[in-house]
Chains A and B, each alone.
Chain A
Amino acid sequence: MGHLLSYVFEPGFFASGPVHTAFAVGTVIAVTSAVVGVFTVTRGQSFAGHSLADIATTGGSGAFLVGLNQFWGYLAFGAGAAAFMEMIGVQRRRGRDVATGVVLGAALGLAALFLYLGTQESSTTGASFTILFGSMFVLTPSTVPALIVSALLALATVVMLARVLLLSSLSPDIAAARGVPVRAVGAAFLMALAVSVALSAVIIGAVLSTALLIGPAATALRLVKGPVKAAVTAAGLGVLATWLGILLAYDSFYWPPAGRGWPVSFFVVALVVGSYLLTYLRSRDGRAVVPESQDPEHACSVA
């Protein structure tokens, strides 16, 4: 039995400092992203989330170029973009298609330039990878408190606004007639969304950050009906995907090509997408499927 378990938890897993940090930060960020994600999907703002992620990529690569931690770049550009979107009203469902497309293309183009210049200068090719696809194992310890505090603030904002957000997604007019400052509430939510995209960008990369935001929420909304249940389920799924992702990434160090672990972001995103597909199949043929239950065994057989 102990022998078997050692295949699941490879040697040194529980003693590793980066693993501890990854678990702590990953858990908090997964919960925040999932709960913010439920409201993002409810409000039909998944596209805004994706736009923020693209623009955060520019911020992260710019921060790297000038020698700052990427998180501050993600946060500054994400928050700036959120404020801009609020001003021109891009966040309304698919509003202003073409303008948005052009701006996002420009943002990623700038990101390419910043990454090129940054990696030429310091010859750390891993940086591009970390910015685009993240890594929970190379978190800078000094930013950990900032990450956790930001995550808790975004989570608290959304929980405080939960009822007014739901009422204004149901009908902005009813909400306004009952004295809800609809515009301000929308702006506060967009800010929380920007923060949570920046946080996901740190752990699974700017390009993939919406996976942790939208994936667990979309899956939860297929599985359960009420808003509270959806938020709790999404948080559970997000945390599970993050934990299993960390475990699999650690174990993958022993997988081919040996000596190099697979990226943790790959596992997290694969698990998130996998669980969504399972609920999709389930709703199609009415068969109950427990999401992600087979994954630990999968790890065994490959190892």
Chain B
Amino acid sequence: MSGELLRLDEVTVRLGGREILRDVSFTIRPGEFTGLIGPNGAGKTTLLRVILGLQPVTSGSVLLDGSPRSARDTSIGYVPQKLAIDPDMPLRVRDVVSLGVDGNRFGISLPSRARRARVAEMLAAVGAERYADARIGELSGGEQQRVMIAHALISRPRLLLLDEPLANLDISSEQGIVSVLARLARAEGVAVLLSAHDMNPLMPVMDRIVYVAGGQVAVGSADEVVQPEVLSRLYGRHVDVIRVHGRILVVAAPEGFDELAADAEDAGVVR
């Protein structure tokens, strides 16, 4: 299959009478690095949950390789936003990565040399071999992210979804995670869809941006999407894009600050 790996067609999600996503359409090609960018509460997590099949859509369709995603599909790997892990949880880092192979199966698995080698290989790939025998709950946020990336990639998915993996990380862990992801995406040919409220750490590695605001998306290269007109339309109010010291800042006018906000509400845009 050439062309597209994932296709969303006019996906709308309504929850409790509130429209979370409206007519969201985009595609992801194999091996592509896509940033799912937008402010908190814009619907990024909902969008990822739709792709994973955890959130039913009100209308529209999600196709993976041209067909609806089936349960027990291992072609999507997932790294959730925050893990609430007890320090006492009896899972070592290598157990967690190993669960990525067959944690969804019933019965018991026998230890195998091939399995151990594959786990070690993944731990090395994300730079986590140093704490392979530590308990997962004892690690820092950045270390846990690396382990969960290894967990998600060990089953060789074709698409890797990450929900805010850079939130609450210090700058050096942030850069570490981004470079690990970029390297693995190229080496393993995995398409990456990563959500973030700050696009700056991702600028060097992103092929495309899916910008979410107000439940709608704008899709394209960073240069195409991160423009005042495009984002103002998305936010439904005036937005400035400021480039300073090689960083991009998106600044939305406060609600009610100008007449655009009033227009947007008349048009029924849900913020």
Contacts and interface: CB of A to CB of B under 8 A. Distances in A.
Contacts of A160: 106-108
Interface in A208-258: 221, 224-227, 230
A284 interface: no
Nearest to B136: A170
Interface string A31-51: 000000010011010000000
A218 to B, nearest CB: 8
B73 interface: yes
Contact of B86 (A44, A180, A225): A44
Contacts of B83: 170-171
Contacts of B71: 179
A21 interface: no
Task: Decide if the interface of chain A is mainly helix, strand, loop or mixed.
Answer: helix
A220 to B, nearest CB: 8
B53 A41 contact: no
A56 to B, nearest CB: 26
A273 interface: no
A174 B73 contact: no
Interface string B74-87: 10101010010110
A145 B185 CA distance: 57
A175 to B, nearest CB: 7
Contacts of A166: 91, 95, 99, 103
Contacts of A281: none
Interface in B151-208: 151-152
A221 B107 contact: no
A108 interface: no
Contact of A174 (B78, B95, B102, B106): B78
A170 B90 contact: no
A175 B106 contact: no
Nearest to A222: B88
A102 B74 CA distance: 45
Contacts of A178: 72-74, 103-104
Interface in A266-286: none
A290 interface: no
Interface of B: 49, 52-54, 71-74, 76, 78, 80, 83, 85-86, 88-92, 95-96, 99, 102-109, 133, 135-136, 151-152
22 contacts: A38-B90, A42-B89, A159-B108, A160-B106, A163-B103, A163-B104, A164-B103, A170-B103, A173-B78, A173-B80, A174-B152, A175-B103, A176-B54, A177-B52, A178-B74, A179-B72, A180-B104, A221-B88, A225-B92, A225-B135, A226-B92, A226-B95
